[in-house]
Amino acid sequence: MSFGPHLFLALLEGTVSAFVLALTALGLSLVFGVMRIVNVAHGEFFMLGAVLAWFCASLVGTPVAGFLFALIAAPLIVGALALAADRLVLRRIDYHPEGTIVATIGLLYIIQQAVLTLYGPEARPVTPPVYFILSFPWFGYSGYKLVVAAISACLLAATWWLLARTKLGLYMRAAQQDLEMAQAFGVPARRVYAMVFALGAMLAAVAGVLVVPIQQAHYLMGLDPLLLSFIVVILGGLGSVKGTVVAAFVVGISDGVVSVFFSPTLAKIVATLLVAAVLVVRPGGLFGEDRA
Amino acid sequence: MNDLATHRVLALHLGVLALLFLAQFALPEYHHTNVARIMVLAAYALGYNLLLGYTGLMSLGHAMFFAAGMYGAGLPVYYLGFGAAGALGAGIATGMLLAAAFGLMALRTSGVSFLIVSLMFAQAFYLASLYFNEITLGDQGFILSGKLAPLQLGGTPLGFHEPAVKYNAALLLFAACFLLSLGLRLSPIGRVLIAIRENEERTRLFGYDSFRYKLLALVLSGGLAAAAGASYALLFSYVGSTFASILFSIYPLLWTLLGGVGTILGPLVGTGLMFYLVDIASGITSAYLLVVGVVLVALILWFPQGIMGTVRAKWLPWLP
Amino acid sequence: MSEERKGQGFSRRRTLGTLGSLAGAALLPGSPAFAQAPKGRPIRIGFQVHRTGIGAVYGRWYERTTTAAAKLINEMGGIAGRPVEIVAEDDGTDPKRGPEVVEKLARQHKVDFVYGTLFSHVVIASAPRAGELKIPYFVVSEGYHVASGKLNRYVFQPGITDVRAQVTAMSSWITGKLGKKVTMIFPDYAFGYDHRDFFSQAVAKRGGTVLEKLAIPPTESSFTKYFARVPAETEVLYHVMVGPGVLTFVKEMGEHFGKKRPQIFGFIDSLEGVDIASPGLDFLDGTYFWEAFPRYAEGAQSAHAKNYRKLVGVNDAGVSLADPKDVSTFSHMFGCWETLYVIKQAVEKSGYKDPSPKDYRALIEYLESVKSFPESAEHPQGAKMFNGRLHQCYGHQYVSKVENRRLKVVHRTKIEDSLYDPEADYTKQAL
């Protein structure tokens, strides 16, 4: 394919993946920003969203109904699971940073293997709610992917609205800036933490529901989104929502464009090393505060 | 530490080594090779423990050191016909060099940042092993058995496929790493490392260059991990990208935590126990990695000190 | 008096004759009722199966086929009159766990043979241990690694053909019928490299060129960016993909190219376990696939193939009889069936009794002397040639065209089409 159309395709793909990535990574970023912990099981919440979407689709008749059902049910179920994990494990270890990492690695394996047992090792497809192909002169493109981008954009906006305009959002921002002060002003820290953790999980789950008609639901699908989310969150700044969204676009679009010139594996290597370099030079990430 | 304590410590640790040596005559066939594997992997865990237990730095990227040792030993054997001793040396050197380079860059960070940087570097290493698959043969990997000349001990060839050779080579490796860790722990350097773990600021205030000490710990840690990786390649004959993946960075964390972070005996206990837990679990369910998850969560909730750590806290406070 | 006796004798002889022919018929497959129940110490075959991990779809069908074959073998009298027992252990499609499983099967379960591995990296990691333990290791892998000589004399692949043979056979058909300028898409992985290297070689010999070689990392979940790199002058797009993303791969290929596509030739590996009539796969109509054992039974299929389908539980569309959504890995799983029967033949003809070096040697040397396997109930995919020095079998390959959301065979190769110059000789290795 000649350069122009190739670039166009790369930009299309990059935009779609940027939106999905922003949605997936946002949860991780919020959790770190407010709670100061890294949730290594984040990718598994994404996978759970995808698998639950498959369950919903198999229970309901039409793809559209299945999709809508999943959009509501999957995040609720995953959110409840996250609340349970917070109450039973994270709270008990008092959100100790390194302990949380170990605990969430454990959670990763528990969720992954539970899905393996209950859902099986197969990769199963989910029919997209709408299916049409945009035929450009040089290539065809899945219309549903653009729908995913649009829905993600709406959800990102909704999350921004939650943070900027609601009481919960106010509490979250307060807790992020200075937990002790916030508590002194009556912010219920424990409850905010629980809600943030649940919100983070729910965002990942929704991303999974959106993405699964493009890919397939498979019990190992959570690892890649986790690594990508790490990259985005670090580049954008641990704890900065704006930074996360910007970084998602940088990563998403450049990944598409770079793979025009280089092999994808090489592009991934470069991206990974770049992230490490950023952290070394600015331990708080590009936009974040210096929180070494 | 007074003389009596040192004697007690030495006696205990040398006793463990003696037990391992004698075990090879009593163990049934199946467990013989298992224990050899466990010893090599326990050496890996010992390397990890050096960094986490004694310096307080948690890494999620140690697979790159293990794999550096594996490739560092395996590639020269496969392409250049190196013997076992040379390959082991090459593997260890590769690991230590990589650790030094990594440390110079990454030790500016700590805590969660260090963790993520280590994860990212290890991931890049893994991807590189796939990218350069013309040389490394990537995911598929390659076999050393046809190419590795047997060890020569005064004229008698000792092939690594022979169970006795395999077991004792593994034991030698483990013993070396074990005693090195113990020696370091009891030495002045070890005390500084522990001080850094407890409170880095204060240690620096006392005039110690914490960066240099941390770098030393990292290089030694990487060296031990690489020695384990090189031995794994030489003894079990296979080198492949899978050993550079994230799961292989999680394993030593798991084994060390289970056995008791910050104890010398911990890594051996943790590795052995986890090996058999997985083995038994895979007989019951096909989701045997579930055991890994449950153990990690249970550990962090109720036994953050691990097995030997709890033993030390309750009964044997002199345990290093 | 003598006439009377003659009359009786005659009818007794006829009765005996009838009984005799009935007994003879009992030895034919399909009539287990008359077979003697196997007895004595069982022959234990250790089954290293991919129950979890990326190979799980294949593992599931491998396990079903193995169970069906073992059941039939036992119904028909077992192996050398002894019952066959399958001892399965999951290796998680993991090259670290693989050798541990071989160890467990050989040393703890004390099986006679180990068999059943598919994914190349696990085979390569596990084979050395089997060689050290000196236990015959029968792989059902399709990889070229066995025939390459890189493994050891205990490893055999007598039930499924290898990639190099498949690719060699396909290269002449592709360059002859579809086009000479080929772009290849393959997994960045052992199996993919075999395709990449051997197909390029074979195509060059026939005056074709490979324009571009696109390697896809094993964990990739989105493939559109690869299709963009297919050069415009491509006449044939050659694809072979494995792993959880295969359906996505094929869907995105269709979305990208639409109607303006080059000729497309894929290996059924890209669609094993996947329904061709899945939504989003309409564009596959008119494209071609390599198959080892055609998924859709067309017209007259041999009685052996029909019976095989029934026993492993798939219908004439290669779909599970129990669940219409469960599509089989039909071009791979027959390897398990045939390999188990090869083990049976090897045990019976070599006089193997116990896992001793002497009996193993006899078995291995017998197998190395075998030249062919005829098409039969034991080898329903078709007749095979067997090269004792390479420890590898060779068989017919098929080209199928997708028509009306089904596969229809358009070409069947001769076994000779897939042969290549041998590069190894295991018989020269010591045991």
Question: For residue range A70-123, what is the model confidence (pLDDT) as tens digits?
Answer: 999 999 999 999 999 999 988 888 888 778 888 998 999 999 989 988 888 778
Closest Cα in chain C to B142: C124
Confidence band of B3 (pLDDT split at 50, 70, 90): low
- Closest chain C C-alpha to A92 CA, distance in angstroms: 33
Mean pLDDT, residues B208-226:
93
Picking from C230, C245, C256, the nearest residue to A215 by CB comes out as C245
Question: Is C120 within 8 Å of chain B by CB?
Answer: yes
Residue among A227, A269, A291 minimizing CB distance to B131: A269
Distance CA C305, CA C349 (A): 25
Q: Do A2 and C232 lie within an 8 Å CB cutoff?
A: yes
**What distance in Å separates the CA atoms of residue B172 and residue B166, rounded to the nearest whole number?**
10
Lowest mean pLDDT among A146-150, B19-23, B152-156, C379-383: B152-156
* Interchain contact, A292 vs B296, CB within 8 Å: no
Mean pLDDT of C301-330: 91
Contacts A–C by Cβ distance under 8 A: 93
Q: What is the mean pLDDT of residues B2-14?
A: 81
pLDDT digit string (tens) for C343-394? Answer: 999 999 999 999 999 999 999 999 999 999 999 999 999 999 999 999 999 9
Query: In terms of DSSP bridges, do strands C236-239 and C372-373 run parallel, antiparallel, or are they unpaired?
Result: unpaired
Q: What is the DSSP letter of C327?
A: B
Per-residue pLDDT band for C25 (boundaries 50, 70, 90) equals: very low
Select the residue of C89, C92, C103 nearest B33 (Cβ to Cβ).
C103
Which residue range forms the structural domain that includes residue B99?
Answer: 3-245
Residue B42 lies in a domain: yes
- The predicted structure's pLDDT at residue A284: 62
Interface subset of B 275-294, CB within 8 angstroms of C: 279, 282, 286-289
**Partner-chain contact A263 B131, CB within 8 Å:** yes
Interface residue of B119, B297, B299, B303 to substitute, partner A, most A CBs within 10 Å: B297
Which is more confidently placed, B239 or C12? B239
Question: What pLDDT sits at residue C34?
Answer: 54
> Which of C52, C220, C273 comes nearest A116 by C-beta?
C52
- What is the rounded average pLDDT of the residues B304-320? 85
Chain centroid, CA A251 distance in Å: 14
Q: Given pLDDT bands bounded at 50, 70 and 90, which one contains residue C19? A: very low
- Neighbouring chains to A with at least 3 Cβ pairs closer than 8 Å: B, C
- C242 interface with B at CB cutoff 8 Å: no
The enclosing domain of B73 has a CATH number of 1.10.3470
Q: What is the mean pLDDT of the segment spanning C105-122?
A: 93
Q: What distance, in Å, lies between the first and last C-alpha atoms of chain A?
A: 46
B267 burial type by CB count under 10 A (0-12 exposed, 13-18 middle, 19+ buried): buried
Residue C151 per-residue DSSP state: S
Residue B258 and residue B270 in contact, taking contact as beta carbons nearer than 8 Å: yes
At residue A1 the predicted structure's pLDDT band, cuts being 50, 70 and 90, is low
pLDDT value of residue B173: 94
Residue A137 C-alpha, separation from nearest chain C C-alpha, in angstroms? 10
pLDDT of residue C7: 39
How many other CB atoms are there within 10 angstroms of residue B168's CB atom?
18
Q: What are the start-end ranges of the H helices in C284-385?
A: 303-312, 330-350, 357-369
Question: Are the Cβ atoms of B293 and A234 closer than 8 angstroms?
Answer: no
Residue B167 lies in a domain: yes
Q: B140 to chain C: nearest residue by CA?
A: C121
Total domain count, chain B: 1
Averaged pLDDT for residues C393-402: 94
Helix or strand (DSSP H, E) at C380: none
Q: Is C95 on the interface with A (CB under 8 A)?
A: no
| B270 found inside a domain | no
Question: Which chain A residue has its CA at the smallest distance from C254's CA?
Answer: A140
Partner-chain residue, chosen from C104, C190, C218, that has the shortest CB–CB distance to B30: C104
Nearest to C255 among A127, A142, A259 (CB): A142
Which chain A residue shows the shortest CA-CA distance from B249? A105
Q: Is the pLDDT of residue C33 over 60?
A: no
Report the DSSP pairing between strands C288-291 and C398-403. Answer: antiparallel
Test B140 with C193 for CB contact under 8 angstroms.
yes
CA of B171 to nearest chain C CA: how many angstroms apart? 19
C282 in contact with chain A, both atoms CB, cutoff 8 A: no
Beta bridge partner(s), residue C393: C386
B240 and C121 within 8 Å at the Cβ level: the answer is yes
Evaluate whether residue B138 is within a structural domain: yes
Read off the pLDDT of residues A192-250 as tens digits, 9 standing for 90 and up: 889 999 999 999 999 999 999 888 899 989 988 998 888 888 778 766 778 888 889 88
ipTM: 0.81
Going by pLDDT thresholds of 50, 70 and 90, the confidence category of residue A285 is low
Reported confidence tier of residue A288, pLDDT bands at 50, 70, 90: low
Give the confidence band of B154 by pLDDT, cuts at 50, 70, 90. Answer: low
Check residue A183 and give its pLDDT: 81
Chain B residues closer than 8 Å to A234 by CB: 116
User: Which residues in B lie closer than 8 A to residue A114 (C-beta atoms)?
Assistant: 287, 290
Q: Which domains does chain A have, with CATH numbers?
A: 3-123+139-281 (1.10.3470)
- d(CA B16, CA A18) in angstroms, rounded, equals 55
Backbone phi, then psi, for A251, in 5-degree steps?
-65, -50
With beta carbons under 8 A apart, name residues in chain A contacting C270.
none
The DSSP string of chain A is --HHHHHHHHHHHHHHHHHHHHHHHHHHHHHHHHH----TTHHHHHHHHHHHHHHHHHHSSSHHHHHHHHHHHHHHHHHHHHHHHIIIIITTTTT-HHHHHHHHHHHHHHHHHHHHHHH-S--B----SS--EEE-SS-EEEHHHHHHHHHHHHHHHHHHHHHHHSHHHHHHHHHHH-HHHHHHTT--HHHHHHHHHHHHHHHHHHHHHHHTTTS-B-TTTTHHHHHHHHHHHHHH-TT-HHHHHHHHHHHHHHHHHHHHHS-HHHHHHHHHHHHHHHHHH-TT-SSS----
Question: Given a cut of 80, is residue A26 above it in pLDDT?
Answer: yes
Has residue B41 been placed in a domain?
A: yes
Query: Which residue reads 């694809």 in tokens?
Result: C239
SS3 sequence of C153-216: CCEEECCCCCHHHHHHHHHHHHHHHCCCEEEEEEECCHHHHHHHHHHHHHHHHCCCEEEEEEEE
Q: What is the Cα–Cα distance from C94 to A202, expressed in whole angstroms?
A: 32
Chain B residue with Cα closest to A271 = B124
For tokens 């074990």, what's the residue? B178
pLDDT per residue over B66-76, tens digit each?
A: 999 999 999 99
Rounded to the nearest angstrom, the minimum Cα separation between C253 and chain A is 9
CA distance B305 to B313: 9
Window from A1-5, B32-36, B133-137, C3-7 with minimum mean pLDDT: C3-7
Q: Which residue has the higher pLDDT, A25 or B200?
A: A25
Residue C327 distance to chain A (closest CA, Å): 11
Partner residues linked to C265 by β-bridges = C238, C288
pLDDT of B272 over the 70 cut: yes
The verdict on residue B211 lying in a domain is yes
Residue B275 lies in a domain: no
Name chain C's partners: 3 or more CB pairs within 8 A: A, B
Kindly state the tokens that stand for B170.
């593994």
Average pLDDT, integer, range B256-271: 91
Among candidate residues B121, B128, B124, B144, the one with its CA nearest the CA of residue B75: B144
Question: Which chain A residues touch B257 with a CB distance below 8 Å?
Answer: 102
- State residue A286's pLDDT score: 59
Query: Residue C316 contacts by C-beta under 8 Å, 6 or more apart in sequence?
Result: C296, C297, C309
**B234, part of any domain:** yes
Q: Which residues contact A72 (CB under 8 A, 6 or more apart)?
A: none
User: How confident is the model at residue C17, as a pLDDT?
Assistant: 42
CA distance readout (Å), C293 to B29, C301, C330: 41, 11, 6
- Which residues, in sequence order, are CB contacts of C129 under 8 Å at separation 6+? B236, B237, C99, C102, C103
Q: Nearest CA of chain B to the CA of C28: how many Å?
A: 38
User: What is the mean pLDDT of the segment spanning C397-404?
Assistant: 93
Q: Do C107 and B30 touch (CB under 8 A)?
A: yes
Q: Contact at 8 Å (CB) between C96 and C27? A: no
Q: Please give the pLDDT value at position B4.
A: 67
Whether C132 has its CB under 8 Å from any CB of chain B: the answer is: yes
DSSP one-letter string for B290-310 = HHHHHHHHHHHHH-TTHHHHH
Question: The tokens of B285 are what?
Answer: 């369910």
In the numeric block, the tokens 């890649």 are attached to A224
Instruction: Give the closest of C52, C120, C217 to B130, CB-based.
Output: C217
| B131 → chain A, closest CA residue | A265
Of C225, C247, C280, the CB nearest to A10: C225
* Predicted confidence (pLDDT) at residue C9 exceeds the cutoff of 80: no
With beta carbons under 8 A apart, name residues in chain A contacting B131: 263, 265-266, 269
Q: Which two tokens stand for residue B124?
A: 């890049």
CB-CB neighbors (< 8 A) of A17 in chain C: 222
Distance CA B315, CA C319 (A): 63
B:37-56 residues touching chain C, CB 8 A cutoff: 37
The order of strands in the sheet holding C392-395 is: C372-373, C384-387, C392-395
- Contact assessment for residue B46 and residue B220, using Cβ atoms and an 8 Å cutoff: no
Residue C397 has pLDDT above 70, yes or no: yes
| In the predicted structure, residue B84 carries a pLDDT above the cut 50 | yes
What's the pLDDT score for residue C28? 47
Interface test with B, best of C52, C124, C137 (most B CBs within 10 A): C124
Q: Is B34 within 8 Å of C95 when comparing Cβ atoms?
A: no
- Taking CA atoms, what residue in C is nearest to A6? C228
> Which residues does chain C have within 8 Å of residue A214's beta carbon, measured at their own beta carbons?
222, 248
Spell out the residues 6+ positions from residue A177 whose beta carbon is closer than 8 angstroms to its own: none
> Among A139, A216, A265, whose Cβ lies nearest the Cβ of C256?
A139
C244 to chain A, any CB pair closer than 8 A? The answer is yes
For residue C417, the one-letter residue type is: D
Residue with tokens 């929180």: A291
Q: Which of C188, C222, C271 to mutate to test the interface with A (most CBs of A within 10 A)?
A: C222
Tokens of C263: 């000729």
Least confident of B63-77, C117-131, C179-193: C179-193
Q: Is C288 helix (H, G, I), strand (E, B) or coil?
A: strand
Using 50, 70 and 90 to split pLDDT, how confident is the model at A287? Answer: low
Tokens of C174: 């592709």
Q: Do B37 and C151 touch (CB under 8 A)?
A: no
